[in-house]
């Protein structure tokens, strides 16, 4: 029977870089703008023109034209002349490959994640933070007719997903404060509810060993997650287990999957510092 792919409509968009604080002495605005251009390409979106990039980055088209020309010369963009648009270049692939190769935690995590995915028939993912999103760097799907369409490179919300909340729960107050301020500034209207959810997640991670997101990232998706510090100078990461509510219930996740997920997080704690 063909597997039904569950639409991940809640996948987080790339949050634009905040480059308005040009008073910082060490802040290189032109570099930040160039990185912002690269970041505005989204999953399953191959081509963008200067006008589209300018709108997404909130930059003048003349500035974007200079940036895309420079990035093309360096191989980070490729110009498709018949369409007068750009696609990400092979230099980006080299950077991504080098980054993933340095994530030594993945070979240790893979068999444990696969075992949990098979047991739970759910989606198990390993993620790291990029601005106000969590980005999947590894994932496994359990054998279920319904699954989440999340793959390596997919983004999910840091404030409403279990993975994002687990990341925030493990951060120190000093690490967490500026992130929370960015979340508040992005959606001040919903901030009280978002803040309450994050504060509850911090308490749950301390008391239960994991955080939850039952219908909060998406109304029909249940998930739990554990945050950990891989060590070796790497930032906090998180591992989650979740699926549409027709596949896993909150009760199953908390009673059956939670002990295995906590054990997985403990196995990955400090791995890269060894």
pLDDT over 90, % of the chain:
60
Distance (Å, whole) CA 100 – CA 173: 28
Is 95 strand, coil or helix? helix
For the whole model, what pTM was predicted?
0.74
**What confidence category does residue 150 fall into, taking pLDDT thresholds of 50, 70 and 90?**
confident
Listed residue (5, 8, 7, 10) closest to 158, CA to CA: 10
CB atoms within 10 A of CB 172: 8
- Which CATH architecture fits 103-273? 2-Layer Sandwich (3.30)
Cβ neighbourhood burial of 123 (10 Å; 0-12, 13-18, 19+):
buried
Assigned token pair, 256: 């059956």
pLDDT exceeds cutoff 80 at 10: no
Cα(215)–Cα(243) distance, rounded to whole angstroms?
A: 11
Sign of the four-CA dihedral 247, 251, 254, 259: negative
Tokens of 147: 């699954």
Other CB atoms within 10 A of residue 46 CB: 11
- Distance between first and last Cα of the chain: 44
pLDDT value at residue 235: 87
Provide the residue count of the chain: 274
Residue 240 C-alpha from the chain's centroid:
12
Distance CA 170, CA 226 (A): 9
Q: How is residue 48 annotated by DSSP?
A: B
Each residue's pLDDT tens digit, 183-206: 999 899 999 999 999 999 999 999
- Locate 165 and state its tokens: 């909340």
Residues 193 and 199: their CA atoms lie apart, in Å, by 10
**Coil vs helix vs strand at 84:** coil
Give the domain ranges of the chain: 29-95, 103-273
CATH classification number, 29-95, choose in 1.10.8.870, 1.10.10.10, 3.40.50.2300, 3.80.10.10: 1.10.10.10
Rounded (10°) angle between helices 191-208 and 162-170: 70
Which tens digit of pLDDT belongs to each residue from 11-27? 455 555 554 554 567 78
DSSP state of 257: I
Residue 139 contacts residue 241 (beta carbons within 8 Å): no
């Amino acid at each position: 029977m063909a597997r039904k792919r569950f639409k991940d409509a809640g996948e987080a968009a790339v949050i634009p870089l905040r480059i308005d604080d040009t008073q910082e002495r060490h802040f290189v605005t032109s570099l930040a703008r160039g990185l912002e251009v690269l970041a505005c390409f989204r999953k399953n979106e191959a081509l963008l023109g200067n006008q589209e990039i300018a709108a997404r980055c909130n930059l003048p088209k003349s500035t974007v034209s200079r940036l895309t020309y420079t990035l093309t010369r360096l191989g980070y963009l490729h110009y498709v002349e018949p369409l007068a648009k750009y696609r990400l270049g092979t230099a980006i692939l080299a950077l991504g490959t080098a980054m993933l190769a340095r994530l030594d935690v993945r070979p240790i995590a893979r068999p444990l994640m696969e075992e949990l995915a098979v047991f739970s028939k759910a989606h198990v993912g390993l993620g790291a933070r990029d601005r106000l999103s969590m980005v999947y760097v590894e994932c496994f799907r359990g054998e279920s007719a319904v699954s989440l369409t999340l793959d390596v490179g997919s983004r999910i919300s840091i404030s409403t997903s279990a993975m994002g909340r687990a990341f925030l729960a493990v951060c120190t107050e000093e690490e967490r404060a500026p992130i929370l301020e960015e979340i508040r500034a992005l959606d001040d209207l919903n901030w009280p509810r978002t803040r309450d959810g994050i504060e509850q997640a911090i308490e749950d991670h301390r008391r239960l060993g994991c955080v939850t997101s039952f219908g909060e990232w998406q109304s029909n998706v249940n998930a739990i997650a554990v945050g950990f510090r891989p060590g070796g100078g790497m930032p906090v990461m998180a591992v989650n287990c979740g699926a549409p509510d027709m596949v896993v219930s909150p009760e199953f996740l908390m009673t059956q999957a939670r002990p295995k997920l906590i054990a997985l997080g403990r196995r990955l704690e400090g791995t890269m510092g060894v």
